Amino acid sequence: MGVDYTAPVGVFDSGVGGLTVTREIMRHLPNEHVVYFGDTARVPYGSKSKDNIIRYSRQIIRFLQTKGVKAIVIACNTASALALDVVRQEVDIPVIGVVIPGARAAVKATENKKIGVIGTEATVQSGMYTKIMQKMDPEVSVIGKACPLFVPLVEEGFAKHKVTGEIIDYYLDSMRTSEIDSLILGCTHYPLLRSRIMDYMGDKIHLVNPAYETAMDLKHLLKEKDMVNDAITGEHATYSFYVSDVADKFKQFANSILPYDIEITQQINIEEY
């Protein structure tokens, strides 16, 4: 049996961060239906062990498969860095993450081959961005910095607050005085602090947003596998949102950053999968 090309794409994250990837999918693949899962009960993943991140990712993939998805995007840097290699072997649909697209874009953007990566503790400690980028170009040198407080600042709506400037200075001072010419926003929450980080780092630094690059990778993948949904004639595709906790808070946040308002966010028990 062939693949149902009208089936939705599954997208998941530890919480709201993956909405920055969903936003890019909505913008650049407007014909694709999306089923999103945010693991709001178990966020943050950035401080969890590899074993748990793999276990969570497996459960979410099983849940998304019950929705008949044709492909899955792991819209979380932490799960992409720690679980993608394992879980993509276990299913018969394509699974992509955000790390490879982000790494490729940074290697392309850098001129002096000095790249910074910011992300969660688990992402930075995994060294996955460094490994992938040095495989693409062995001359690249990489500095990593975990910025765990950026996640709650974004989730609490502090993106424009002055306290966020102090935290940015605390985390990124050493990046600013380093010789990097490109900086990867290696956590799906960070594009929501993009302008603050850009103001701080200066406009000579190229900020790489893996969310956009991932949407472009998905576009290529669907084309390559002959899975593009060209059956839509209406205004836009359908978007369904599921979370493991606090659906109302998620919906409010989603409606503040997505181009279309979410009508319903459904809570499910992810431990059942």
Question: Which C-beta is closer to ligand DGL: that of 99 or that of 227?
Answer: 99
Give the contact letters, 100-129, x = binds to ligand DGL (CB under 6 A), - = no.
-------------------xx--x------
Q: How many CA atoms lie within 13 A of 60 on its CB side?
A: 35
57 part of the interface to ligand DGL, by CB under 6 A:
no
The window from 51-59, 131-139, 181-189, 231-239 that contacts ligand DGL (CB under 6 A) reads: 181-189
Question: Which C-beta is closer to ligand DGL: that of 9 or that of 187?
Answer: 187
Question: Which C-beta is closer to ligand DGL: that of 44 or that of 94?
Answer: 44
Which residues touch 166 (CB under 8 Å, ≥6 apart)? Answer: none
Give the contact letters, 133-162, x = binds to ligand DGL (CB under 6 A), - = no.
------------------x-----------
- Compute CA distances 222 → 10, 39, 91, 144, 228, whole Å: 13, 25, 17, 32, 5
In the bound complex, what is the minimum distance in angstroms from residue 38's beta carbon to ligand DGL? 9
The window from 40-48, 163-171, 221-229, 259-267 that contacts ligand DGL (CB under 6 A) reads: 40-48
What is the rounded distance in angstroms from the CA atom of residue 179 to the CA atom of residue 145? 14
Question: Which C-beta is closer to ligand DGL: that of 82 or that of 201?
Answer: 82
The catalytic residues are 76, 187
46 part of the interface to ligand DGL, by CB under 6 A:
yes
Which residues touch 3 (CB under 8 Å, ≥6 apart)? Answer: 70, 225, 226, 227
Q: Total binding residues for ligand DGL by CB under 6 A?
A: 17
13-32 binders of ligand DGL (CB under 6 A):
13-14, 17
Point out which residues bind ligand DGL (CB under 6 A). Answer: 13-14, 17, 43-46, 76-78, 119-120, 123, 151, 187-189
